């Protein structure tokens, strides 16, 4: 069941109501829990690129370098290399964000009556066990 957040304003009063719509799950947080996951994905991508040589597409599309520029500035042919201490913090952030996304998803389902309280607790435990070996 999807939740639809409705804000109604009268002359002296504003109230917020969560409406339940059939055939969709979640929605209490406007599906922002997926944004949390995308942030984690972006950090993973930064780790993967760290110190790696730019691909031809990256050189052309993302950075706009031409071959002459790279001949004069060969250091620009590589992504920035983060120190190992920073990579470790990135990895910690990814883990924390993945856990936060799980919590947000499970709470979302509970608040939208997609999960019972018992199911919420069981599913949360299962999802966290998958993320935290």
Q: Please state, rounded to an integer, the average pLDDT across all residues of the chain.
A: 82
Residue 97 confidence class, pLDDT cut points 50, 70, 90: very high
Could you write out the three-class secondary structure of 96-107? HHHHHHHHHHHH
Q: What is the pTM of this model?
A: 0.72
pLDDT of residue 19: 46
Q: Compute the half-sphere exposure of residue 129: CA atoms within 13 Å on the CB side of its CA.
A: 6
Confidence of residue 16 (pLDDT cuts 50, 70, 90): very low
């Amino acid at each position: 069941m999807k939740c639809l957040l409705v804000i109604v304003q009268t002359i002296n009063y504003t109230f917020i109501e969560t409406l339940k719509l059939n055939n969709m799950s979640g929605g209490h947080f406007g599906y922002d829990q997926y944004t949390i996951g995308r942030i984690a994905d972006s950090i993973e991508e930064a780790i993967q690129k760290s110190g790696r040589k730019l691909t031809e597409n990256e050189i052309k599309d993302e950075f706009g370098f031409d071959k002459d520029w790279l001949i004069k500035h060969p250091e620009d042919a590589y992504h920035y290399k983060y120190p190992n201490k920073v990579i470790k913090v990135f990895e910690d952030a990814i883990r924390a964000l993945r856990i936060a996304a799980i919590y947000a998803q499970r709470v979302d389902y509970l608040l939208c009556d997609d999960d019972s309280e018992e199911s919420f607790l069981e599913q949360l435990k299962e999802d966290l066990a998958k993320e935290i070996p």
